[in-house]
Amino acid sequence: MKIVITGGTGFVGLTLARQLLKRGTLPGPKGTPEPIDEMVLFDMVAPVEPPKGLDDRVKIASGQIAERDQVFHIIDRDDIGVFHLASVVSGEGEQDFDLAMRVNLDGALNVLEACRARNSRPRVVFTSSIAVFGGDGMPAKVGDSVKQTPQTTYGMTKAIGELLVNDYSRKGFVDGRSARLPTVVIRPGKPNKAASSFASGVFREPLNGQPCILPVAESTVMPVLGYRATVENLIRLYEIDGARLGTDRAVSLPSLDVTVAEMIASLKRASGNRHLGEIRVERDPFIEKIVAGWPVGSDGARAKSLGLITDDGLDAVVKGYIEDFLDG
Amino acid sequence: MKIVITGGTGFVGLTLARQLLKRGTLPGPKGTPEPIDEMVLFDMVAPVEPPKGLDDRVKIASGQIAERDQVFHIIDRDDIGVFHLASVVSGEGEQDFDLAMRVNLDGALNVLEACRARNSRPRVVFTSSIAVFGGDGMPAKVGDSVKQTPQTTYGMTKAIGELLVNDYSRKGFVDGRSARLPTVVIRPGKPNKAASSFASGVFREPLNGQPCILPVAESTVMPVLGYRATVENLIRLYEIDGARLGTDRAVSLPSLDVTVAEMIASLKRASGNRHLGEIRVERDPFIEKIVAGWPVGSDGARAKSLGLITDDGLDAVVKGYIEDFLDG
């Protein structure tokens, strides 16, 4: 079978690709395990250097998710499974509304329509976000049964994506699943335009011996999930029998709900004798406003009952990152 | 100022148009009352005969809400207010997914984009529906704080409409409001393709001396609202200061939650000595399945706190209908 990962050359996309290549098989549209003989990582721009850990089953295709023909071009087999990760992120979406609508809304529609056109009811995992929650009535802990009143364009388009995945699945056009992601940590590389970017930076920059300037107070609470558990959950959600998801195919992934101060404490504990760059707070009202609208806790009970996992504490996430990116 | 009513030659649209013409003024985009000097009723097809009760301020424009240029063409003044009623209904949406997406999703986007392009932050009232609710976790009583897991394509597109109206308003592109309508009764004329069409037919056909064949059991409970109160609420929701709506501009209109048996009893009480056509049940699985997925109660507390109204009992709705359409 063929696997398509949109946003496939991003950090989560590449980590997912490598894991899938290791596994070698996934359920096809009929639900029985099939060997993965082709994988396309679709993304805006091709990476300058070929990413490590891939093999000749993989093709990197650059293109625009908002361009219908391009999406139909890569979803060109009936025995196919799709992980739809491509997305404008939160901060970027607040700065460019039209871009967020094109990439996140038109993009999701293109993926769903291309899958529908195969007539094989392909499995689709869509990455939603905890940013679907927000607004006056938001409870302290959000979850699968909480009303979605997003306060960013990013969150709005993700909420729409969940609705589309549910209805395309109900109609039998696709066998879809939405993974509602908390903030994924620790992303390697450079900061991105997500308002939550600091939640990776607070670990990454000090571990690289660089200073980290935090745009929010240390008391800020964020639901986070390590990238290893995130990727494992995307695969498990793909593998689950869709009937188990009932009428709502969107699942809040289990998270660790931690303060920035706890992130810093964990970093210090887990990093051993490494020299750490300085961390200091310089509050940024643009970032603070977005983050203040997000939930401070997430209920992952349904996800856990479906066999999805959370991290074994934040220290384990830090140690995993050191293992994967610093000691390697 | 100019008022545009999309779906304007439908029953609710025309009733609304007549009420607005009587009032003569509405708040413009700046919030101060302005005389209505122009009104466009935009709809798929022009009515064969000119509707009664309109005057020379009104123009009927036929066109497609899914055609961006046509929508931009009618939203052509900065001092404008829009009531966006045009919609594929529930049964029709289940039969033709693509039509529902074009009319309900593209249509809503076209209206919001055309208003945004005016740069005057026009007021927009969007008619959503109680069909946004459904699914495994639906509580007995739905309302503004309840998670939306629609089980029809119609409901899904309405839920998306609410999300769009909220975000376009948050961004300052429009000053939007969504009125979440229960089943509106009693619609005159012929049955339509809404799965809830029988809730008008059960009154209308017998009052016309015609038989009414009910597709659902008499024990079926439906939240309903009379058309007079519905139209009054659309106008009141338009008039409210948007800031009072907070971060969620979608409001469940107050309803009467009644069984079909209660509808029949009310009809018999309120119709006096009129000869009534026979009512009999012939259950229709297609309709029953859609209706079974809908809520049986709706909480209108927030709407009432905002000054919206409900009917003074079902008998009053029947009497109003007789007054408006049979005794007139």
For residue A230, count CB atoms less than 10 angstroms from its CB and return exposed for 0-12, middle for 13-18, buried for 19 or more.
buried
Asked if A151 and B97 come within 8 Å (Cβ–Cβ), the reply is no
For residue A328, is pLDDT > 70? no
Give the type of residue at B15: T
Reported as a single tens digit per residue, the pLDDT across A32-74 is 999 999 999 999 988 888 899 999 999 999 999 999 999 999 9
Preceding omega of A186 cis (within 30 degrees of 0): yes
For residue A288, is pLDDT > 90? yes
Interface test with B, best of A244, A247, A251 (most B CBs within 10 A): A247
Q: What token pair was written down for B99?
A: 């039509």
% pLDDT > 90, chain A:
91
Query: A305 at the B interface (CB within 8 A)?
Result: no
CA-CA distance, A129 to A290, in Å (whole number)? 14
**Nearest chain A residue to B143, by CA:** A147
Q: DSSP labels for B223-260?
A: EEEEHHHHHHHHHHHHHS-GGGGTT--EEEPP-EEEEH
Average per-residue pLDDT for chain A: 96
Q: What token pair was written down for B253?
A: 């209109």
Task: Calculate mean pLDDT across residues B294-302.
Answer: 93
Q: What token pair was written down for B89?
A: 């209904």
For residue B72, count CB atoms less than 10 angstroms from its CB and return exposed for 0-12, middle for 13-18, buried for 19 or more.
middle
Asked if B145 and A137 come within 8 Å (Cβ–Cβ), the reply is yes
Asked if A148 and B145 come within 8 Å (Cβ–Cβ), the reply is no
Query: B251 at the A interface (CB within 8 A)?
Result: no
**Residue ranges per structural domain of chain A:** 2-182+225-254+298-312
Question: What CATH class does A2-182+225-254+298-312 carry?
Answer: alpha beta
Residue whose structure tokens are 């056909």 = B205
The complex's ipTM works out to: 0.96
* Of the candidates A151, A193, A252, the residue with the CA atom closest to the CA atom of residue B248: A151
Compute the nearest-CA separation of A265 from chain B (Å): 35
Reported as a single tens digit per residue, the pLDDT across A167-179 is 999 999 999 999 9
Reply yes or no on whether A154 is catalytic: yes
List beta partners, residue A224: A183, A256
Interface test with A, best of B138, B144, B162, B167 (most A CBs within 10 A): B167
Compute the nearest-CA separation of B139 from chain A (Å): 11
Q: Which helix (H) or strand (E) holds A69?
A: helix A68-74
Query: B292 at the A interface (CB within 8 A)?
Result: no
List C-alpha distances in Å: B159 to B19, B43, B141, B164: 27, 22, 17, 9
Reported as a single tens digit per residue, the pLDDT across B141-182 is 999 999 999 999 999 999 999 999 999 999 999 999 999 999
Query: Which of B153, B166, B171 is facing A149, going by the closest CB pair?
Result: B166
Q: What token pair was written down for B48?
A: 């064969």
For residue A320, is pLDDT > 90? yes
**CA dihedral of residues A269, A14, A111, B110 (deg, nearest 10):** 60
Q: What token pair was written down for A241?
A: 């029998």
List C-alpha distances in Å: B58 to B18, B46, B248: 10, 13, 32
| Cβ-Cβ contacts under 8 Å for B2 (sequence gap 6 or more) | B36, B37, B38, B39, B40, B76, B77, B79, B80, B81
For residue B328, is pLDDT > 80? no
Query: A248 at the B interface (CB within 8 A)?
Result: yes
| Cβ-Cβ contacts under 8 Å for A274 (sequence gap 6 or more) | A207, A322
CA-CA distance, A17 to A200, in Å (whole number)? 21
Per-residue confidence (pLDDT) for residue A140, from 0 to 100: 85
What is the pTM for the complete model shown? Answer: 0.96
Give the type of residue at B286: F
- Domain B2-182+225-254+298-311 fold is Rossmann fold (3.40.50)
- A160 chain-B contacts, CB cut-off 8 A: 160, 163-164
- DSSP SS3 for B126: strand
Per-residue confidence (pLDDT) for residue A192, from 0 to 100: 85
Give the type of residue at A187: R
- B166 chain-A contacts, CB cut-off 8 A: 149-150, 156
Query: Which of B135, B145, B151 is facing A147, going by the closest CB pair?
Result: B145
Q: What token pair was written down for B184?
A: 């509106």
Task: Calculate mean pLDDT across residues B114-123.
Answer: 98
Asked if A156 and B171 come within 8 Å (Cβ–Cβ), the reply is no
CA-CA distance, A185 to A270, in Å (whole number)? 15
Per-residue confidence (pLDDT) for residue B94, from 0 to 100: 93
A279, A212 Cβ separation under 8 angstroms: yes
Per-residue confidence (pLDDT) for residue B192, from 0 to 100: 85
Q: What token pair was written down for B302?
A: 């927030």
Q: What token pair was written down for B324?
A: 């408006």
Query: B248 at the A interface (CB within 8 A)?
Result: yes
Query: A32 at the B interface (CB within 8 A)?
Result: no
- DSSP SS3 for B60: strand
**CA dihedral of residues B114, B120, B123, B128 (deg, nearest 10):** 30
Compute the nearest-CA separation of A115 from chain B (Å): 15
CA-CA distance, B281 to B220, in Å (whole number)? 12
* Of the candidates A157, A184, A169, A207, the residue with the CA atom closest to the CA atom of residue A319: A207
**Nearest chain A residue to B146, by CA:** A147
Query: A273 at the B interface (CB within 8 A)?
Result: no
Query: Which of A135, A147, A160 is facing B146, going by the closest CB pair?
Result: A147
First to last CA, chain B: 31
% pLDDT > 90, chain B:
91
Query: A153 at the B interface (CB within 8 A)?
Result: yes
Confidence of residue A165 (pLDDT cuts 50, 70, 90): very high
Compute the nearest-CA separation of A227 from chain B (Å): 28
| Cβ-Cβ contacts under 8 Å for B243 (sequence gap 6 or more) | none
Query: B89 at the A interface (CB within 8 A)?
Result: no
For residue B198, is pLDDT > 90? yes
Reported as a single tens digit per residue, the pLDDT across B4-59 is 999 999 999 999 999 999 999 999 999 999 999 999 999 998 888 889 999 999 99
Reported as a single tens digit per residue, the pLDDT across B71-114 is 999 999 999 999 999 999 988 999 999 999 999 999 999 999 99
| Cβ-Cβ contacts under 8 Å for A236 (sequence gap 6 or more) | A306, A307, A308, A309
Q: What token pair was written down for A293?
A: 């609208």
CA-CA distance, A10 to A51, in Å (whole number)? 10
Reported as a single tens digit per residue, the pLDDT across A189-248 is 988 888 899 999 999 999 999 999 999 999 999 999 999 999 999 999 999 999 999 999
Compute the nearest-CA separation of A151 from chain B (Å): 7
CA-CA distance, A22 to A293, in Å (whole number)? 39
CA-CA distance, A253 to A311, in Å (whole number)? 11
Compute the nearest-CA separation of A161 from chain B (Å): 9
CA A154-A141-A131 angle, 5° bins:
5
